[in-house]
Chains A and B, each alone.
Chain A
Amino acid sequence: MDLWELLGKIAPAAAVVLSGAMVLFERRGALIITLSGLYGLTSALALSHLAFAAGIAKVLVGILVCGILILAHVGGAQDTEPGKERGGIPQGRAFRLVACLLVGGAGLGMGQTQAAFFAEIPLAIRQTSMYLLVFGLLGLGLFQETFRHGLGLLTMLIGFDLAYSMLEPSLAIAALMATVHLGIALALVYLEAMEEQRLGGETES
């Protein structure tokens, strides 16, 4: 069994662990490290199936997106208070764990689909991207805070990007997708900075 084959076998499980951790972790640093893990995993998968340049483009995107988030973190972006109920959605760790299990089950079922239009995507990539899509969706549904919501969006986009790059391996599209990833990361940091300013103002008043 060569390295790429092994990667294909462990990638879906790794995707579940990493994207589940994105939902369960609370510290910003841990979340950014997990996100970089997701980018690393999908870049490795892309490198195993795509042209070298397209795979490397994903590595670079991951580095840049995580770099932007780390810079914002170092620049003073604050952790949100964990476990607090917001907007009527419970956010305790136990609730999130149960939600992860349910969503993981749904992802497993969806990844097994034999629909003809998925046939072009290798099974390991199909399953990995499906897990990322459903866990990203869970993050979007669960979290209202800009940073956590944005991470859900990025997780979902990483999953879609991985599957779509198998269907459309053009470098131009990889570059445009990379711009979307970077745009979301920048927008996230900007929106969060503005939101923090508003919350700071409200606290002062």
Chain B
Amino acid sequence: MSAPAFLFLATLAVAALSAWNWSKPPRAAALAAAGSLALAAWALFSPIDAPFSVIGLAVKLPARWSLLGRGFVLDEGARPMIAFLYLATAFLTAPSFLAGTTRAAPALAVMLTGIVAASLMVTPFVYAALFIELAALGSGMMLVSRGYPSSAGALRLLSLYTFAMMGMLATGWLLDRVGVTASTPELANVATMLLILSFAILMAVPPFHLWISAAAQRANPHSMAFVIFILQSAGLFFALRFLDGFPWLRMATLAYQALLWTGAAAAIAGALMAMAAEDMRQVGAFALVSDAGVILLAVGTGEPAGYRLALGMLAARVVALGLLGLGLGSLGISQPWGSMQGSGKTMPLQAAAFLAGLLSLAGFPLSAGFPGRWSLMSGLHGAMPWTSWTILTAMTLLTGTVISWARRLFAVPAERASPTRLTRLEQLFLGGGIFLLLLLGIFPQLVYPWVVEMANGLSNLVP
């Protein structure tokens, strides 16, 4: 059996095991998290293409799995990215039962991770577009359930990702077959624009964030956080592999300019929309749009340090997303915002988790989102001062939004009288999450060196 086949089968087994225990949500979540953790460790450390011994038997897992003339390859470049995805899935699914997600959510999350892992292994890599589309289909189903039956966001997600898939496949074909190079400027411009448009959809850059704003109000916040994480990560990895794979694209100033401008637009527009939003779930969703914009800015620098920072910020947002989803989920918002005023007094830890997650997405000092932004701003300030001012503006706007919501949650008299008692497990996850967010903000060296390992697979981008 090949390594990719083993990974798929193991993913399927973990998802099946979690689904089998769906009547006991804590157990289903624990199984999904433990399984994902084991798969992350396996993807990172297992010997591939080298013989090893299991209970006295000599085993060798080939890195390539051929299927119908195409293949999946689990090479050194893909391994850290796949390990990161499974690790993040473990982190996000472990507390899912506390956030009121559907019982099938942990199993579905593991399956989605497997599909995105397939997108990182498929060769030629342009076919990753099809796997990202499949992940979007699964995500649509994750966002809609009996408890959250509105399909508007999921439908928009499907439509937008189908457009992106078409754009990416068409671009891949243009590059591979038609032979787009720097010496065919007309075709190169068509390919670049198609590519930028597709990535803008994958990263939910306004106006392609429509599915997020629709789903934020009507889906479970924790499921929503996971879906955004997995789809945007898939999009970012795909973008980086595209840049890594085509030399003319790395030299195309238009592509990097477009990335910088779309990133800046998303960072500011997301922050402004978060500021104007009157629903906590939408505030979180728009803060994520702004955060994705900053990640795009880092990619748009076209520098190895920028790519590393983009990956570092992607990792930092996992903690923020988890906390945001868990905080919102355990606040149990199902009514309009009005009935949540002052809820920080009756549910202080849940409200604090929501605010801490939001602060990290804003890039507030001492939070996990800050070190990446700070490095990016200091790196960019000399060459492109406008980009560092853009990041600073987005940070300021979002921090102002957090302060405003903190006042609404804590300083206004509570409309619900009875305080909510938390179990020890809930306290552990919420408190631990806030602690982790601070820890990574104060000691970024704990995680950044590990995370930037992901960039090592992109040998052309990060020599």
Query: Given A150-B155, A170-B68, are A156 and B137 neighbors across the interface (CB < 8 Å)?
Result: no
Which one of A120, A149, A194 has the greatest number of beta carbons of chain B within 10 Å? A194
Asked whether, in the complex, the Cβ of A171 is within 8 Å of the Cβ of B69, the reply is yes
Instruction: Chain B residues near A191: list those with CB within 8 A.
Output: 140-141, 144, 151, 154-155
Which of B159-167, B195-203, B263-271 forms part of the interface with chain A? Answer: B159-167
Query: Given A153-B159, A173-B70, are A183 and B137 neighbors across the interface (CB < 8 Å)?
Result: yes
Min distance, Cβ B118 to any Cβ of chain A, angstroms: 10
Interface residues of A in 184-205 (CB under 8 A from B): 184, 186-187, 190-192, 194-195, 197-198, 201
- The total of Cβ contacts below 8 Å across the A-B interface reads 89
Asked whether, in the complex, the Cβ of B134 is within 8 Å of the Cβ of A190, the reply is no
Asked whether, in the complex, the Cβ of B145 is within 8 Å of the Cβ of A194, the reply is yes
Asked whether, in the complex, the Cβ of B159 is within 8 Å of the Cβ of A194, the reply is no
Instruction: Chain A residues near B133: list those with CB within 8 A.
Output: 180, 183
Asked whether, in the complex, the Cβ of B173 is within 8 Å of the Cβ of A179, the reply is no
Min distance, Cβ A173 to any Cβ of chain B, angstroms: 7
- Per the bound structure, the CA–CA distance linking A201 and B146 in Å amounts to 11
Asked whether, in the complex, the Cβ of A194 is within 8 Å of the Cβ of B137, the reply is no
Asked whether, in the complex, the Cβ of B187 is within 8 Å of the Cβ of A194, the reply is no
Min distance, Cβ A58 to any Cβ of chain B, angstroms: 15
> A157 at interface (Cβ–Cβ under 8 A)?
yes
- Per the bound structure, the CA–CA distance linking A153 and B158 in Å amounts to 9
- Per the bound structure, the CA–CA distance linking A51 and B408 in Å amounts to 65
Q: Secondary structure at chain B's binding surface: helix, strand, loop or mixed? A: helix
Contact residues on B (Cβ < 8 Å of other chain), bracket: 20 to 34
Which of A5-13, A19-27, A59-67, A160-168 forms part of the interface with chain B? Answer: A160-168
Instruction: Chain B residues near A164: list those with CB within 8 A.
Output: 169-170, 173
Within 8 Å by CB of A176, from B127, B158, B173, lies B127
Asked whether, in the complex, the Cβ of A116 is within 8 Å of the Cβ of B155, the reply is no
Interface residues of A in 132-167 (CB under 8 A from B): 140, 146, 149-150, 153, 156-157, 160, 164, 167
- Per the bound structure, the CA–CA distance linking A173 and B154 in Å amounts to 25
Instruction: Chain A residues near B165: list those with CB within 8 A.
Output: 180
- Per the bound structure, the CA–CA distance linking A189 and B210 in Å amounts to 22
Asked whether, in the complex, the Cβ of B140 is within 8 Å of the Cβ of A172, the reply is no
Instruction: Chain B residues near A149: list those with CB within 8 A.
Output: 155, 159
- Report the nearest B residue to A163, measured CB to CB: B170
> A41 at interface (Cβ–Cβ under 8 A)?
no
Query: Given A153-B158, A153-B159, A160-B166, are A194 and B149 neighbors across the interface (CB < 8 Å)?
Result: yes
- Per the bound structure, the CA–CA distance linking A195 and B51 in Å amounts to 52
Min distance, Cβ B96 to any Cβ of chain A, angstroms: 19
Asked whether, in the complex, the Cβ of B173 is within 8 Å of the Cβ of A168, the reply is yes
Instruction: Chain A residues near B158: list those with CB within 8 A.
Output: 150, 153, 184, 187
Asked whether, in the complex, the Cβ of B146 is within 8 Å of the Cβ of A179, the reply is no
- Report the nearest A residue to B173, measured CB to CB: A167
> B424 at interface (Cβ–Cβ under 8 A)?
no
- Per the bound structure, the CA–CA distance linking A160 and B163 in Å amounts to 10
Min distance, Cβ A64 to any Cβ of chain B, angstroms: 15
Instruction: List residues of chain A with CB under 8 Å of any chain B CB.
Output: 116-117, 120, 140, 146, 149-150, 153, 156-157, 160, 164, 167-168, 170-173, 175-177, 179-180, 183-184, 186-187, 190-192, 194-195, 197-198, 201
Jot down 6 A-B pairs with beta carbons below 8 A, ordered by A.
Answer: A149-B159, A150-B158, A164-B173, A173-B70, A175-B68, A180-B134
